[in-house]
Structure 1
Amino acid sequence: MVKVVVLGAHGQVAQIAERFLFADKDVETSLFLRNAKRMEDKKNQATIFEGSATDAAQLEKAMKGQDIVYANLGGKDDIDIEAEAIIEAMKNARVKRLIWISTLGIYDEVPGKFGEWNKETLGDYITEYAKAAKRIEESGLDYTIIRPTWMNNKDEVDYEKSKKGEPIKDTEVSRKSVAAYVYHLIKNPKEDVGESIGLGKPGTEGDKPGWY
């Protein structure tokens, strides 16, 4: 039995990942979010914690006894503060394994016109997520950072991985693919430890995502 707590449990990718987790009898799931009422219908499938991901004490309560922390947090304004609080809480709760959702372009790894478009479109979002990722990388935790390309809602699992330092040319990937990779890591927690993994759908190269 593996115990996992999902931070930002009401997020779009998180909710897809949760469907994988709830269907697996060998996974015990906890959900952490700002407004617990939003996930009230899941109280028979998971333990639910309400709190802020910027509050290390609240996070620590949810992390105690867990094997894996899966952080699926959004918004650039708090992401670096959240990373700092999560690292502190994990160390206090003595949890080592972290799956962290980041964003594309934090290492300037997107070449060509797509890279220019990505920078222009995301702006400060990239800067703040890069700060948070650096903090995670220096934390001493057993982390995997995931950098999805632009996400769509296609009902498919189709992705390829790239490592830090490798260029990313794929422009999009499904949220279901990202969730499937998260679930794969939860089931295989020793895989991709200490790695920052880009995720994209093969064959989607271009100047920007096809749907944008």
Structure 2
Amino acid sequence: MNLLILGATGRVGSEVLRHALRDGHQVTALVRNPDKLAFADQDLVHVAIGNVLNEADVEAAVQGVDVVVSALSTDGADTLSQGMPLVIAAMKKAGVSRIVTVGTAGILQSRISPDLLRYQSSESKRTLTRAAEEHHRAYTLLERSGLDWTIVCPTYLPDGERLGNYRIEAHYLPENGTQISVADTADFVYQQVFSREHLHTRVGIAY
């Protein structure tokens, strides 16, 4: 399978990349700085130097891929909300329908206030909501895109080994879930590349 990974130099994205290389898949990684890209087999990775905020770079990167995996962070700016429309447009132009993204537990539904998302309610303990607002904009764009999307929504993301034992729930954070490692988040994200079980779904993930 041919994968395009956005955010391949980040914590979750680099782990997804390792999974894909381990299994022998062809991977395109769209990166601004290739020096930050860690991978074992250069023959399996096409490094596309560019920016997700550049339409031509995104269109070139998405050519010939089967699935897009986005592990882009909010980058302290509006990378998600500005880049996602370009990704969606490029996928449609290239005839690619499947995208798996990494979001945040903040955009899951609140159990306390079901009409609100977690970051909008007292369920979230975070005082700063800028990152969640960016992920919310990306979610809204995907929801309206007509693509086959899945958003994996982890809660607190410490480093740690892959346990392979975690809970998931559609549209909600599993009850009393407080954390999930980067490795286990990447494990579940990678599984979604080959699954259509959670189409058009925000999936909460936690131990």
Which TM-score band applies after superposition, normalised by the shorter structure? 0.7 to 0.9
Change (3 A) 1:177 1:122: farther
Cα deviation, residue 185, structure 1? 1.4
State the one-letter code of the partner of 1:38: K
When residues 5 and 85 of structure 1 are mapped into structure 2, their CA distance, relative to the original with a 3 A threshold, is same
Partner residue, 2:44: 45
Distance 2:109 2:22 in 1: 37
CA–CA distance in structure 2, aligned partners of residues 153 and 143 of structure 1:
26
Distance 1:108 1:192 in 2: 16
Describe the SS at the equivalent of 1:44. helix
Matched, 1:55 2:61: no
DSSP 3-state at the match of 1:57: helix
Q: Deviations over 1:1-58 (max 9, x none)?
A: x111101110111111111111102x21111111123227653331110111112221
TM-aligned CA distance change 1:9 to 1:193, over 3 Å: same
Give the aligned partner of residue 8 of structure 1.
Answer: 7
- Counterpart contact for 1:110–1:167, Cα < 8 Å: no
RMSD of the alignment, in Å? 2.4
Match in the other structure for 1:155: 161
2:107 is matched with 106
Q: Which whole-Å CA distance do the structure 1 matches of 2:36 and 2:59 have between them?
A: 21
- 1:173 matches 2:173: no
Alignment correspondent of 2:116:
none
**Which runs of 4 or more aligned residues in structure 1 lie more than 4 Å from their structure 2 counterparts after TM superposition?**
165-168
Name the SS for the 2:139 alignment partner: helix
- Equivalences for 1:1-212 in 2 at 5 Å? 2-25=1-24, 27-39=25-37, 43-75=42-74, 76-109=77-110, 111=112, 116=122, 118-156=124-162, 157-164=164-171, 168-186=175-193, 188-201=194-207
CA distance in 1, matches of 2:125, 2:58: 32
Distance 1:164 1:24, change over 3 A: same
* Separation in structure 2 between the aligned mates of residue 171 and residue 57 of structure 1, nearest angstrom: 40
Give % identity: 26
Equivalent-residue separation in structure 2 for 1:120 and 1:152 (angstroms): 16
Are 2:4 and 2:28, in contact at CA under 8 Å, matched by a contact in 1? Answer: yes
Q: Measured at CA, do residues 138 and 126 of structure 1 come closer, stay the same or move farther in structure 2, by a change above 3 Å?
A: same
Count of matched residue positions in the alignment of Structure 1 and Structure 2: 198
- For the residues of structure 1 that align with 2:39 and 2:173, how far apart are their CA atoms? 41
- Structure-2-length-normalised TM-score: 0.86
Distance 2:167 2:80 in 1: 26
Offset, 1:162:
1.0
Q: Residue 107 of structure 2 aligns to a residue in which SS?
A: coil
Amino acid in the other structure paired with 2:36: R
* TM-score, normalised relative to structure 1: 0.84
2: CA distance between counterparts of 1:144 and 1:95?
Answer: 14
1:120 match: secondary structure: coil
Q: 1:181 to 1:9 in 2, by over 3 A?
A: same
